[in-house]
Amino acid sequence: MPYDPANVFARILRRELPAQILHEDDLCVAFRDVAPQAPLHFLVVPKRPIARLADAAAADAAMLGHLLLVGAAVARQQGLADDSFRVVINNGAGAGQTVFHLHVHVLAGRPLGWPPG
């Protein structure tokens, strides 16, 4: 799908909107979710403008892997009680995606049932 540079995460990346940033490097920024669904809930957002996971290409493989490694590293840094966390990518409105800039959710700090609701 086409990428809209006015989306909220693009604005955070441009520092037009505030965020509680936990990590930044050349490829991504991790910041706390504004409406946390668990005691720890942050998002790992690539700097590359991609609307959805489905829009990523083979050339994005290393970047996608990097997002997962950053999610795990930041979760560890935040000091999880039992080392458990969940990683989620919602792809498309039907799957719950509301911000159309690819992002990885990381949630922890409460029991996380399966399957998700």
Is there a catalytic annotation at residue 103?
A: yes
Task: Check whether the bond before 39 is cis (ω within 30° of 0).
Answer: no
Give the residue, chosen from 5, 16, 17, 21, that forms a contact with ligand AMP under the rule CB under 6 A. Answer: 17
59, 98, 115, 117: residue in contact with ligand AMP (rule CB under 6 A): 98
| CA atoms of 76 and 88, how far apart (whole Å) | 17
Side chain identity, residue 99: V
Kind of pairing, strands 28-32 and 40-46?
A: antiparallel
91 binds ligand AMP (CB under 6 A): no
7 scored as a contact of ligand AMP (CB under 6 A):
no
- Interface residues toward ligand AMP, by CB under 6 A: 8, 17, 19, 33-35, 90, 96-99
